[in-house]
Amino acid sequence: MPCCKPWLSAVSVKLLFSILLCGWLFWIALPASASSQRVVSLAPSTTELAYAAGMGDNLLAVSAYSDYPPEAKKLEQVASWQGINLERVLALKPDLILAWRGGNPQRVLDQLASFGIPIFYSDARNIDEIAQSLDELAQYSPHPELAHQAAEQIRQQVVELKNRYANNAPQRVLLQFGTQPLFTSSADTLQSQVLSLCGAENIFAESPMPWPQVSREQVLARKPQAIVTTGGEQQIASVKAFWAPQLNVPVIALDEDWFNRAGPRIMLAAQTLCRQLAEIPR
């Protein structure tokens, strides 16, 4: 019996190979589809942004203290104040890394980038930049509409607070973030901008450093009418004891995560602060 004739000629083989090669090159040139993104978050704030942007199901791992929303607590932790577990992050083969320059070591981030992994940086210094981060994350989200909705909600809340409190008689406020040493913030911080939404005045707004260390004498000379800190009732008592008897003014303690993380919950801090400042007798 004669041998069977090959089903592909040499020309056909070359054509098929060309088609497959072009298709493969086209596939690798495309970004990973939103629904298949494998995402690692290296800061609590970027974790909150990811969930708000509809990317929660894409998260493989997060940083220490990524505790909101509660689902984030179930994820593996690959970063902390001690650094980033480079080997573990690479083993997870992420399509995208969410990072914060202010809290993540740049050397390790550069190493991760050298492996061709895209890094999305969120370094918001004001509320508008938080909303902008959400809009930018929409391109990676399987639910981009959620990202844009979250951004728009923040912008609407900012407008509402400005309209409600901007015309109030300004109160002089000390933003206090420690006692040993005693330090505060300038106008060039997210926290100071939150304060300004309430129509209040940061007594160290003009400082050239974003987080200046100050003395008791400098604070007393500026005669604050209120003090804003983070924590609960115990922290309020501690701050009052620190200033007694020289300074006896209302102390407002905000949820630390709300006030210090550059995420959507900053608006909860703003709403709470504005309401409590408005209740202080003028």
- The DSSP 8-state label assigned to residue 33 in this structure reads P
CA–CA dist 240, 249 (Å, integer): 8
252-265 per-residue burial string, b: 16 or more CB within 10 A, e: under 16? bbbeebbbbbbbbb
Residue at 71: amino acid letter: E
Q: What are phi and psi of 6, to 5 degrees?
A: -55, 140
Decide: 49 and 122 in contact? Cβ < 8 Å: yes
Annotated binding residue at 65? Answer: yes
Residues in the chain: 282
207-232 per-residue burial string, b: 16 or more CB within 10 A, e: under 16? beeebeebeeeebeeeebbbbbbbbe
Beta strand spans in 135-246 (E): 172-175, 201-202, 226-230
Binding site per annotation, positions = 65
Binding site per annotation, positions for cyanocob(III)alamin = 65
